[in-house]
Chain A
Amino acid sequence: MSKLGLWGLKKSPWVYHLAAAPCNNCDIEILELLTPRFDVERFGVVLVGSPRHADALLVTGVINRKSLPRVLEVYEQAAKPCLVICIGTCTGDKHIFRNSYNAVGPYDKHLPVHAFIPGCPPRPEAMLLGVVKALGKL
């Protein structure tokens, strides 16, 4: 990737929110990040409506059998390089759903993951830190 492109990505990562069988909680905390108390738009983080515009996918929840093919398709549509940032404990070890017949996680089995942010749900500050650390790896 060109130096200019990388600079642009690091200065203003556009994120796409991808919910794959979550419990809604990480999702409302992601939206909380955009609202006045945390307001990540001042750092250039914008929530976009299409994966084609996204620099980072924020994924939540245990993936289930029905959402897995859709998640993979969304990842294919996203322009590369695309960061995959997993939010919530259940993206990693499936948390309380580890005995479920429908959970096909963890994510790193299916996608190249750049950061796991544990917590149920993680605090908005932790999410910010995770995104910053993932960007630092580029």
Chain B
Amino acid sequence: MSAANDKQRRIVPIGPYHPLQEEPEFFKLVVEGEKVVDIEIHLGYNHRGHEFISPELTYDQVPFLVERICGICSNSHPLAAVMAVEDICNLEIPERAKYLRVIVHELERIHSHLLWVGLAGHFIGYNTVWMWAWKYRDAVLDVFEMLVGNRNHYAMNKPGGVRHDLKPEMVGPIEAAMAEVEKKTWLLTKAVLDDPVIHARLEGVGILTHEQSLAYSCLGPTSRASGVPGDVRKDEPHAAYPYLDWNVITFPEGDVFAKAKVRLLEIIESVKMVRQCLKQIPDGPIEARVEEVPPGEGCGRTEAPRGEVFHYMRSDGTNRPLRHKVRAPSYMNIASNKVACVGGTIADAAITLAAVDPCYCCTERMAAFENGQQRYSWNELLRLSWEKTESIRRGMKK
């Protein structure tokens, strides 16, 4: 970089508190005129230390903690966590519980994607879309309230099964809500995606190519919009997913428009899945008894609305996990902003940054920051990690 270039460069800070997104994060855009030439991403405003708290809780309490990693993916995290516990116990859960898990998981995807569509409309100054999408989302929240008793934070999963049963009188209202959501999603899809202004604003913006998507390990709709057909629900079918008939939505373009299309069409697929579940769900118990958790390790993978969630748990035979590791999808997706944003204009940066549906709450559990300074260097972190592994290994041998 020459000195002459240096003088033309300016820094545009976005955040940590700004009207754009509801979560705190900090982006430093380096610009030359209107063009973004570099971006720095600072995280850590949301770090609460879940992995530290988790070993202090019992296996029954852990789902309540991981639910509060993120209020939008508050079924994906507990589902992955209880799958990790069931993996340690080698436990097969009852069929009815499998279907109930899928119903809540897909309802969550519908509400999350509608939420994103609304916010994306808001980011490009199209507030009508925001109001519409959030109005249609209310039908799903009402279903949640009926099914689990809370609009968010469902407390559905527990090791061995689920906590809330589906009563016969609930099937009608859920089907009615699904019909409503499907109708309105088609309406949104047609109204929004046929709008020439939206085409001009989103097409060819923030392109993430197939190779870049693989290089940055992008997950979920972000990667599927770049033509990578990765989806844990198909790749490693869990719960009732093997019994259902549905498609993975992919588009090759990689721009923001493709990401919007992927999410809108996934809502339709989710509606299909919920309907099939309601039709096929067998009678029977909703939980299997977990007698004790033997020493060992297990992992759970599930597809959150934003991509794959991975939970690893290690047990030493007591009623509390020894180590609990969480890998959330936004961590990889946020890093891809580095390539998606550079080369665009500042005005497009807002929607591009939002297009990966970033969830900072999910992401920020691990980095140790203090007053904007990183407290640990990479080597120190590595040393801490090794020490922890060593102490766990010693604990396991006893």
| Bound pair (A, B) | yes
A-B contact pairs, 6 of them (CB 8 A): A21-B47, A23-B71, A48-B19, A70-B17, A102-B48, A102-B49
In the complex, which residues of chain B have a beta carbon less than 8 angstroms from the beta carbon of A37? 135, 138
Is A96 within 8 A of B16, CB to CB?
no
In the complex, which residues of chain B have a beta carbon less than 8 angstroms from the beta carbon of A36? 131, 134-135
Distance between Cα atoms of A24 and B18 in the complex (Å): 15
Is A23 within 8 A of B47, CB to CB?
no
Q: Which of B17, B52, B138 contacts A18 (CB 8 A)?
A: B17
Whole-angstrom distance between the Cβ of B244 and the nearest chain A Cβ: 28
Closest A residue to B22 using CB positions: A27
The B75-94 residues at the A interface (CB cut-off 8 A) are: none
Is A100 within 8 A of B152, CB to CB?
no
Distance between Cα atoms of A55 and B56 in the complex (Å): 41
Interface size of A in residues (CB-CB distance below 8 Å): 43
The A46-78 residues at the B interface (CB cut-off 8 A) are: 48-51, 61-62, 64-67, 69-70, 74
Q: Which of B19, B74, B361, B371 contacts A50 (CB 8 A)?
A: B19
Main secondary structure on B side of the interface with A? loop
Q: Which of B56, B69, B130 contacts A23 (CB 8 A)?
A: B69
Closest B residue to A102 using CB positions: B49
Q: Mark B39-56, 1 if CB is under 8 A from A, else 0.
A: 000001111110011001
Is A35 within 8 A of B48, CB to CB?
no
Is A35 within 8 A of B153, CB to CB?
no
Closest B residue to A119 using CB positions: B150
Is B46 within 8 A of A121, CB to CB?
no
Does residue B24 face the partner (Cβ distance < 8 Å to A)? Answer: yes
Which residues of B are interface residues toward A (Cβ below 8 A)? 16-19, 22-24, 44-49, 52-53, 56, 64-65, 68-72, 74, 115, 118, 130-131, 134-135, 138, 151-153, 359, 361, 369-372
Is B71 within 8 A of A67, CB to CB?
no
Is B45 within 8 A of A121, CB to CB?
no
Is A24 within 8 A of B47, CB to CB?
no
Which of B22, B153, B361 has the largest count of A CB atoms less than 10 A from its CB?
A: B22
Known: A24-B361, A97-B53, A100-B48. 8 other contacts (CB 8 A): A21-B47, A23-B71, A24-B359, A25-B68, A27-B22, A36-B131, A36-B134, A74-B17
In the complex, which residues of chain A have a beta carbon less than 8 angstroms from the beta carbon of B45? 20-21, 64, 66-67, 70
Distance between Cα atoms of A96 and B22 in the complex (Å): 22
Whole-angstrom distance between the Cβ of A86 and the nearest chain B Cβ: 16
In the complex, which residues of chain B have a beta carbon less than 8 angstroms from the beta carbon of A49? 18-19
In the complex, which residues of chain A have a beta carbon less than 8 angstroms from the beta carbon of B153? 25, 120-121
The A13-46 residues at the B interface (CB cut-off 8 A) are: 17-32, 35-37
Q: Which of B24, B69, B70, B370 contacts A19 (CB 8 A)?
A: B24
Known: A21-B48, A49-B19, A70-B24. A100 touches B53 (CB 8 A): yes
Does residue A131 face the partner (Cβ distance < 8 Å to B)? Answer: no
In the complex, which residues of chain B have a beta carbon less than 8 angstroms from the beta carbon of A10? none
Q: Which of B65, B74, B370 contacts A96 (CB 8 A)?
A: B65
The A101-122 residues at the B interface (CB cut-off 8 A) are: 101-103, 120-121
In the complex, which residues of chain B have a beta carbon less than 8 angstroms from the beta carbon of A67? 16, 24, 45-46
Does residue A2 face the partner (Cβ distance < 8 Å to B)? Answer: no
Is A35 within 8 A of B134, CB to CB?
yes
In the complex, which residues of chain B have a beta carbon less than 8 angstroms from the beta carbon of A96? 53, 64-65, 68
Closest B residue to A48 using CB positions: B19
Which of B45, B74, B138, B359 has the largest count of A CB atoms less than 10 A from its CB?
A: B45
